[in-house]
Structure formats: structure tokens, C-alpha cells
Structure 1
Amino acid sequence: MGTSYSSTFPVAPPADPDDPASVAQHDQAAFEQVERMLCHWDRPHRRSYHWMITLDQEARAIELSQRCQAVLPEDGLDLIPPESLHLTVRRFGYVDEVPIGKLDTAVATVSEHCQGTSPFHLHLLPLAGSPGALRLSVAPWSPLLSLHRAVSVASGYEEAEPLTLYRPHVGVAYSSRVQAPAPFVAAAREAQSLPSAEITITELRLVELHRADHKYRWRVLERLSFAGETMP
């Protein structure tokens, strides 16, 4: 039987979204309270446009994800391969609902925002989870919240501040069925002894996303570089 779940997890944001330790502790504590894992693939899916930070070329992110995967139980999970590693900023819309003109206008608006955005460092922290996945915590959130706000405005969404609904993370494995969380919580605790990884984010991408064989696959439509002042 299919079960749905909210994409906003944890429900409340961390005390300090820009402090790696605060974010990691908050995510871990929330995962400890999960009563059961759900099947990630039970969620409905249609081909869609997404604003994403793709990590398939980030060696440090790939290495950390694979080290985390090595301590996870072999059963009940679909591991995320390097070519599918990503951080979602926001879904733009479904392909069959978004007119090309609206897409072009949004790209122009977001591109202007990215021109004034500086590249930023992002810490990837092992390991926590949600009801449907095992995932790396990330910090700081501020540059990601800014991107979320920009793409939301460009897409015509009128809603609350990103901090009320956006929970940045990088998935490393999806739960493939409804199951007890204990083995995954234990594995996440073990993975927390691994060192975090720091990467530099230099661009935002618009992709056309689809799902196949328990994996997400995408085609990059636009690469929007951050052209603001260079980091120290």
C-alpha cells in the first residue's frame, strides 16, 4: 500500500541554519524520531523542470556519499549513484504544464540573480535521514535559501519564506519499501564518525528530470554561473 509523506523534513528548521554542527545535530535528532521508513518511489512522479545543484562532477561529494553507502544495510535501499548525486533547490513545474515562454522568462530572471551571486562553500555532513531516504546534511543554508527565494519569485510562486518549507540536503540512498528505521538509524550514527566534505558551488542548473529504474536522471537545459565577487 502506498504511503505519502511531506518533503519538509525535519518539520522545524535548525536553530542556526548556517552552523554545520547545529544543522547536523538537528537533522540527526529528527531522524532518531522516525517511526518507520517509507517507500520513496511511492510518491507520484511526472517529468518535470527542476532548479538543481548537480554534484556528479564533485569528487569530494561523491567520495563522501560512497563512504556513507558502505556502512548502510544492503537490503531495503536504492543507493544513489555518482551520476545522480544532487541538491535540489526547487521544482519549477511539470514539463506538460509549463509554456516555453514562461520557462525562458524565468531563466532570464534567475540568470540575472546568479550574475550577482558569489560562489560559496558548502559543507556536506554525514549522515542523517528522513522517512524516505538517507542523506547528507548541508550548511550554510543562507546562500541556498537565497537561491530558493529567487527561483520561487521567477516561477511566479507566492508563498512563505523558504525557511518554512525548504530543507536543503543531499541524498545518498532511497528507502525502497516500508520498513523499520532502526538499522538505518544505527548506520547513520556510525557514519557520523566520517569527516565532512567541503565543496565550492559555482553555478545553478535548470534540468529536465525524470525517474527510471529507481533512479533520477536529468538533462541539463541551462547552466547559470555565479558571477559575483570571488570568495576569499
Structure 2
Amino acid sequence: MIEPTRRRSSVDASGALTRMSVVILAAVAVAFFGGCGTDTEFSTPTTSAAVDFPYPPFEIRTDIAVPLPPRLRDAAQFALDMSVDDRRKNDPNDDEADRRFRSQIAPEADIADLPPGPDTAIGETGGALHRAVGARGLPDDTVEVTICQYDTPGLYTKLKDGRIVSSDIPMSVQRPLVQWTGRPAADGTTPAGPRWLWVGETASYNLPAQQVAELCDPFKPEPFIQKMPDPTTAASATPSG
């Protein structure tokens, strides 16, 4: 199951490792912001799941909302891609996300989450937008990227008992720290040369809702829809007699 909320490891800008929750509740108001070039990643349902849950798969879109110089833009795109894998890596149907994530995160930042519970989901639908709204250079070839995560149209999960549950976190902030380095990754791999490596996060769990809104409202997608998608055309079609 894709998790809308998780505790993550984090470090502050000076490198001190802390444990944090990255999800911030925010009261969101309608504001317009035009989308930038968006990359979309999809989960792939199994055949049986598609039959039992005839909805489009949950997707996470990413984009960069502000102009950045090339180096900061590259760092922001890497952080966005990692934020997607960070959200997907506990999905039992997406082992590749976990492998990819651990091959691009520093060992000291790779603090395992709690073991996942039993897989009680039949399927998931909806979507989210991870949007980079800022990036700043720090010492030691490190960049802090500010990402606003908008759950729109939201995450909707059908459980095996027939219930459909949805995420209740419409907007949150994540601030990954990524470093241009040749250090080994958490899975033990060593690159041939420097590349971006996720080395932690700047603590953002204690940001007040007003500050989250000030950061993310100006870049919020319009319309800000929170509604379960319709079934796929094939599933909703009535069989001919």
C-alpha cells in the first residue's frame, strides 16, 4: 500500500540527524498556479487487482514551479524523483522503488521505517503532485530543496473488507538535502564519479499551518480537486447481452 504519511529520517542544515514526521496539515484556499513541465509516474496494478478495483492506478506527478540555475534545477529534479520513491518504497507491489531509493541515499540517512503491516489493500487510485518551489545552496556541495506535496485528487484505497479509505492530508512540506558527492550509497554501491545523493532532510514537521500555507498556496494547482476518480471506461461499460 502506498502510504500518504510516514515518519522519515531527517538532518538539519548542519548535518545533525533527527527523527521526524514530514506531514504538515494545512488549511488550503483556492489559488491559481499554472502547471510546469510535469513528469508522471504510475503504479502498476496486478490483473486481479484491476478486476476487483477497476480504477486508474495512483500516480504521483512532479514539476519545478520556479526558475532555477542549472545546478539547482538538477538537484531539485533529483530530490523530486527521490520524494516519489520515498513515498512508494513501502508498497509491496513496487520493489523497484525501494531498490532505487537505497541506491541513491546516504547510509546515515537510511533509517528504516517500521515494518509494513499486512497488505490489506485491493487497489489504490487517485494522485498527488510533488512540486519543487525553491532550492538553495549550502556548504559541502549540498542543496536544500523545498517541495510542496499536494494530495490532489488524493489517495483512495479499497480494502479487502470492502471499505474505501482516503488520505486526509491535503498539503505538506518536505525539505530534502541532496549532495553532489562520490560517497557510497546505503546499498553499498559506489559511483564511478560524483552524483546527487540524498543525505537527509531539514526538519519541517513543526512548521505551523500558516507557514505551510504561505509556502505552498501560491503554487497550488488549480483546480485543487479532491475527489475519487471515475472507474475506467471498460469497467463502467455495461456488457452486451
TM-score (norm 1): 0.31
Which one has the bigger helix percentage?
1
* Greater relative CO, 1 or 2 (CA 8 Å, sep 6+): 1
- Structure whose alpha-carbon radius of gyration is higher: 2
